[in-house]
A and B are shown apart, each in its own frame.
Chain A
């Protein structure tokens, strides 16, 4: 609401009403905490194609960072490089560093199982397993070695509550997850991620397949998640980026144009291209 504008600077004709821009919480700790996730001069190659080039991006712990940009600019590749899921379908090559808690995830000997447990991911289209609701949420804890029935039941309930789905499904936990609506399925996928107790949650346009009401519910959830988790969210929807994130990164043609507080990006962006994009001049 109170976007402080530097006098003399003109306000770009943003598509996003200022009232929607999230107040950046001015939490300035005495000693800045090391970033939870950090990309350093990171370049990402698909066979015969350079998808990302020289990306420098820091994601502070317990913050929400939105990544915006036109289609095909490399947003999805960027977050999929962090949990190393991009490489499961095609061979890839990475230069530079992708640090998670200071550890380069591409260094040899990285335990992918542990990495992906600690960095959860929500996909563009809800992708529940064709199993029961209960088994969907229990899948993660089971593969990570929890087998006691009571323990699993506890985790399932807690995760479904965290994902604001418990009240809707508690009396049909053992029916197929495929019968849920799209929005419910996406919240189930979130519960499935939360059940393995991750530290970072990557979201790849999590609302693009959802209706406005389901979208609002996911956004409310992100609001509560920020207290405990570090969230990176890719979105096409600039209003959404403005509503949910603390910081916003603008990506264009595989390069990071600008990253700053969301408030700054949506009011006084430093780069002409960012301004053009958020005012709807292209993209």
Chain B
């Protein structure tokens, strides 16, 4: 009898559990709705042509977004080529020289940059890589996406390096390894699984960006892999089709959105799997 909690405590506990459950529901409902609507509208429009053909001229129905899918892949690939080295190396700097003034400045700028609306980053890339060369280009698009990735990778790298036990650093230094060797051959490899996950998460995030591409890589209805010319991307293509007056284009926009969401989902899953595997290799 003595051990039974008083009624008041039971009620309070129930109220809080209910509150938590409600919060979870509120958080998940929008995601469920998005998935439901996109899949319902999009899956029916997916066919082989969608993955293999380029857009048909206005008025003709059918066609696909093959060029946009390839365009997105090319641009996020190039963005990664820019952002991964810059992000990791500056992350290493900030983590190694934790107390320096420059580190504090870099950390602060990274946080600000992370919060800058993506359209503003688009304008930045526009003035840097579109205006001077007199035209939209895939490179400008990749630049905008890369600039968005840098702060994410930088902060992830820094945080994960801080988690590496200092005993590893001591062990390496005590063997006569220089600081650079210690960082690049001991500390960075130890943090690698986490950093890789961070990179994949950043990639998944920028793959879904439209605003920075609108006036950098613009769009292209034709098959093009030239980096100095406008290039199609899934997001801009979805946007263009979604605001068009044609039913067939609306259908294709839903299909495009489905592909986008599906690939980001698969990507995130792969990221988790890869990280888990790497970590297991480290631990056993």
| A120 is an interface residue with CB less than 8 A from chain B | yes
| Cα distance, A94 to B177, chains bound together (Å) | 23
Q: What chain A residues lie within 8 Å of B226 (beta carbons)? A: none
| B284 is an interface residue with CB less than 8 A from chain A | yes
Q: What chain A residues lie within 8 Å of B170 (beta carbons)? A: 85, 88-89, 121, 123, 127
Do residues B189 and A176 form an inter-chain contact, with CB atoms below 8 A? no
- Chain B min CB distance to A88 (Å): 6
Do residues B176 and A121 form an inter-chain contact, with CB atoms below 8 A? no
| Cα distance, A83 to B170, chains bound together (Å) | 11
Known: A125-B167, A179-B284. A130 touches B190 (CB 8 A): yes
| Cα distance, A179 to B177, chains bound together (Å) | 24
Q: What chain B residues lie within 8 Å of A88 (beta carbons)? A: 169-170, 173
Q: What chain B residues lie within 8 Å of A103 (beta carbons)? A: none
Q: What chain A residues lie within 8 Å of B174 (beta carbons)? A: 83, 85, 116, 120-121, 123
Do residues A176 and B284 form an inter-chain contact, with CB atoms below 8 A? yes
Proximity string of chain A (123-165) to chain B, C-beta cutoff 8 Å, 1 when within and 0 when not: 1010111110000000110011000000000000000000000
| B243 is an interface residue with CB less than 8 A from chain A | no
Proximity string of chain B (222-263) to chain A, C-beta cutoff 8 Å, 1 when within and 0 when not: 000000000000000000000000000000000000000000
Q: What chain B residues lie within 8 Å of A112 (beta carbons)? A: 176
Do residues A131 and B176 form an inter-chain contact, with CB atoms below 8 A? no
Do residues A116 and B175 form an inter-chain contact, with CB atoms below 8 A? yes
Q: Report B174-207 residues with CB < 8 Å from chain A CB.
A: 174-178, 181, 185-186, 189-190
| Cα distance, A34 to B283, chains bound together (Å) | 45
Q: List 19 A-B contacts (CB under 8 A).
A: A89-B166, A112-B176, A113-B176, A116-B175, A116-B176, A117-B176, A120-B175, A123-B171, A127-B170, A130-B282, A130-B283, A139-B185, A139-B186, A143-B177, A144-B176, A176-B281, A179-B283, A179-B284, A192-B171
| B34 is an interface residue with CB less than 8 A from chain A | no
| A114 is an interface residue with CB less than 8 A from chain B | yes
Q: What chain B residues lie within 8 Å of A178 (beta carbons)? A: 282-284
| B165 is an interface residue with CB less than 8 A from chain A | yes
| Cα distance, A96 to B10, chains bound together (Å) | 68
| A233 is an interface residue with CB less than 8 A from chain B | no
Number of interface residues of B (CB under 8 A): 23
| B168 is an interface residue with CB less than 8 A from chain A | yes
Do residues B175 and A143 form an inter-chain contact, with CB atoms below 8 A? yes
Known: A129-B168, A178-B282. A196 touches B176 (CB 8 A): yes
Partner of A143, one of B169, B176, B189, B190: B176
Known: A88-B173, A117-B176. 16 other contacts (CB 8 A): A88-B169, A89-B170, A113-B176, A114-B176, A116-B174, A116-B175, A121-B174, A128-B171, A129-B171, A129-B172, A130-B168, A139-B175, A140-B175, A140-B176, A143-B178, A176-B284
| Cα distance, A127 to B172, chains bound together (Å) | 10
- Chain B min CB distance to A201 (Å): 11
Do residues A129 and B284 form an inter-chain contact, with CB atoms below 8 A? no
| A193 is an interface residue with CB less than 8 A from chain B | yes
Proximity string of chain B (60-78) to chain A, C-beta cutoff 8 Å, 1 when within and 0 when not: 0000000000000000000
Do residues B167 and A143 form an inter-chain contact, with CB atoms below 8 A? no
Proximity string of chain A (45-64) to chain B, C-beta cutoff 8 Å, 1 when within and 0 when not: 00000000000000000000
| Cα distance, A135 to B284, chains bound together (Å) | 15
Q: What chain B residues lie within 8 Å of A116 (beta carbons)? A: 173-176
Do residues A130 and B178 form an inter-chain contact, with CB atoms below 8 A? no
- Chain A min CB distance to B241 (Å): 48
A192 nearest in chain B by CB position: B175
| Cα distance, A140 to B170, chains bound together (Å) | 13
Q: What chain B residues lie within 8 Å of A144 (beta carbons)? A: 176
Q: What chain A residues lie within 8 Å of B176 (beta carbons)? A: 112-117, 140, 143-144, 196
| Cα distance, A117 to B175, chains bound together (Å) | 5
- Chain B min CB distance to A91 (Å): 10
Q: What chain B residues lie within 8 Å of A139 (beta carbons)? A: 172, 175, 177, 185-186
